[in-house]
């Protein structure tokens, strides 16, 4: 299914009013689930068309995502909104070659990926501003998630992360890893799950999924494709892990940890400018870092299963060692 140089099919272009737009496909990344097209008019990116073609989710799953994103945008969270079709629908389904796929149109997030700027933040502004703003954007999303009442519901963490599923997914040759994951699952089940700590989260909040306005520093978040009900701390722990890149080349272990503490303290300050997170929740950060590592490992195995490939052990080596050896903070 390649629509880069021509019309998609008459249906998606027409139903979203894209006949006069130029559609450019974004190169897929390893493990990607969707086909992504930047829709440009008069040389300006206006919106993003996402086509989901794997067939492993139902329309209700996509509706649950789109409704959540639309709610967040209307509430004032810094997210790229969903644009309804000419039928007034947030999600449209189409068939091609006997297969059903789903389309969602999003507004284009203002700004750019920090990776596309060589991991340089905006000129004249300190990195602390960037760290604060990432926490602030995430805090706004969680603030509104805490009051969200869904019409269609996304899956819960324990709907997917079950011992039986993980035992089937991960080969027995990774016995030590499977044991370490089972131990963490037992610990996760002991955590509180009330509305102040547990709700619908992004589940992939990282610098690949938001744009930065390099004039103002404002952040606009997108790609809620993996959103699910989980602890809010998961998203914060994911931010922690993605912050390690700023300090990984520091050879001194104590200085690396000190750098990470300063980074995360700034993130939490930004987060708390929008919603609460207790010191008790933050004390569980190492456990939630383990949760993120498990998610990353599971994703690697799932991608290989979809592609019919064997996993390269090096792709999970570091994460697996941290879990098996109970190494805190990665």
Each of the 330 residues of the chain gets a pLDDT tens digit; together they read 444 444 445 478 889 999 999 999 998 766 578 999 999 999 999 999 999 988 889 999 999 999 999 999 999 999 999 999 999 999 999 988 888 899 999 999 999 999 999 999 999 999 999 999 999 999 999 999 999 999 999 999 999 999 999 999 999 999 999 999 999 999 999 999 999 999 999 999 999 999 999 999 999 999 999 999 999 999 999 999 999 999 999 999 999 999 999 999 999 999 999 999 999 999 999 999 999 999 999 999 999 998 899 999 999 999 999 999 999 987
Q: What is the pLDDT of residue 12?
A: 85
Q: What is the pLDDT of residue 31?
A: 59
Please answer whether residues 52 and 102 qualify as being in contact, where contact means their C-beta atoms are separated by less than 8 angstroms: yes
Residue (of 208, 180, 191) closest to 293 by Cα position: 180
Q: What is the pLDDT of residue 183?
A: 97
Distance CA 143, CA 106 (A): 22
Q: What is the pLDDT of residue 99?
A: 85
Phi, psi of 251 (to 5 degrees): -70, -25
Residue (of 289, 311, 31) closest to 169 by Cα position: 311
Q: What is the pLDDT of residue 131?
A: 98
* Six-digit token string for 234: 């998961």
């Amino acid at each position: 299914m390649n629509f880069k140089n021509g019309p998609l099919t008459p249906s998606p272009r027409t139903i979203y009013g894209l006949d006069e737009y130029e559609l450019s496909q974004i190169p897929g990344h390893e493990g990607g689930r969707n086909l992504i097209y930047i829709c440009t008019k008069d040389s300006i990116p206006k919106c993003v068309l996402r086509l989901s073609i794997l067939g492993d989710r139902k329309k209700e799953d996509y509706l649950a995502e789109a409704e959540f994103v639309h709610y967040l945008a209307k509430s004032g969270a810094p997210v790229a909104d969903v644009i309804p079709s000419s039928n007034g629908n947030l999600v449209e389904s189409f068939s091609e070659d006997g297969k059903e796929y789903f389309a969602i149109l999003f507004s284009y997030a203002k700004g750019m990926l920090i990776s596309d700027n060589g991991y340089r933040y905006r000129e004249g502004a300190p990195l602390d501003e960037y760290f604060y703003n990432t926490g602030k954007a995430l805090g706004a999303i969680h603030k509104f998630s805490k009051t969200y009442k869904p019409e269609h519901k996304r899956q819960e963490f324990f709907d997917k992360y079950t011992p039986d599923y993980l035992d089937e997914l991960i080969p027995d040759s990774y016995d030590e890893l499977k044991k370490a994951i089972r131990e963490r699952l037992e610990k996760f089940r002991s955590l509180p799950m009330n509305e102040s700590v547990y709700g619908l989260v992004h589940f992939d909040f990282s610098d690949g999924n938001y744009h930065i306005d390099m004039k103002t520093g404002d952040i606009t978040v997108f790609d809620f494709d993996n959103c699910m009900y989980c602890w809010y701390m998961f998203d914060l722990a994911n931010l922690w892990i993605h912050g390690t890149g700023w300090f990984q080349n520091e050879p001194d272990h104590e200085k690396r940890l000190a750098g990470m503490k300063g980074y995360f303290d700034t993130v939490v300050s930004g987060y708390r400018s929008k919603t609460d997170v207790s010191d008790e929740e933050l004390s569980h950060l190492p456990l939630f870092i383990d949760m993120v590592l498990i998610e990353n490992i599971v994703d690697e195995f799932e991608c290989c299963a979809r592609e019919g490939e064997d996993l390269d052990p090096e792709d999970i080596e570091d994460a697996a060692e941290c879990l098996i050896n109970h190494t805190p903070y990665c």
